[in-house]
Chains A and B, each alone.
Chain A
Amino acid sequence: MKSRALPVLVMLWAACFAQPSLAATQQVTANIEFADVIQVSTDSDSGGRNLSLPVLITVNNFGSTYFSQSGKVYDKDHDTVKFTGPKDQVMNFLTLAYSDGVSALTPIKSVCSQQGDGGDGCDKLYGSIQSEHGNSAESISTVFLTNLAPSASKNSKLSLFDLCAVYQ
Chain B
Amino acid sequence: MFTRATTKKILAYASAAAIISSNALAATQSVTANIAFDTPLALTKNLDIEFGVVKAGVTGTHTISTAGTVTDGGSAVWLSGSPHAADITIAGSATQTIDISVGGYTANESATPSNATCDYDGGGSGSCSLSAAAAPGAGKTLLVGVRLTLDGTAVAGDSSTPSFTITVVYS
Contact = CB atoms under 8 A, between A and B. Distances in A.
A59 B156 contact: yes
Interface string B136-171: 000000001010100000111111111111111110
A41 interface: no
Interface stretch (A15-23, A103-111, A159-167): A15-23
A31 B161 contact: yes
A34 B158 contact: yes
B34 interface: yes
B79 A7 contact: no
Contacts of A12: 33-34
A43 B26 CA distance: 107
A45 interface: no
A93 interface: no
B53 A58 contact: yes
A32 to B, nearest CB: 4
Given A34-B55, A35-B53, A60-B79, A24 B164 contact: no
B52 interface: yes
Main secondary structure of the interface of B (DSSP, over half): strand
Interface residues of A, number: 34
Contacts of A5: 31
B116 to A, nearest CB: 8
Interface string A1-40: 0001101100110110001111111111111111111000
B34 A34 contact: no
B48 A31 contact: yes
A28 to B, nearest CB: 5
B19 interface: no
Given A12-B33, A22-B169, A27-B45, 9 more contacts: A4-B31, A11-B33, A19-B170, A23-B169, A29-B49, A29-B163, A30-B161, A32-B159, A66-B80
Interface of A: 4-5, 7-8, 11-12, 14-15, 19-37, 56, 58-61, 66, 68
28 contacts: A4-B31, A7-B33, A11-B34, A12-B34, A15-B34, A15-B35, A22-B40, A24-B168, A25-B167, A26-B165, A26-B166, A26-B167, A26-B168, A28-B144, A28-B163, A30-B48, A30-B86, A30-B162, A31-B49, A32-B62, A33-B54, A34-B157, A34-B160, A35-B53, A35-B54, A35-B56, A35-B79, A37-B77
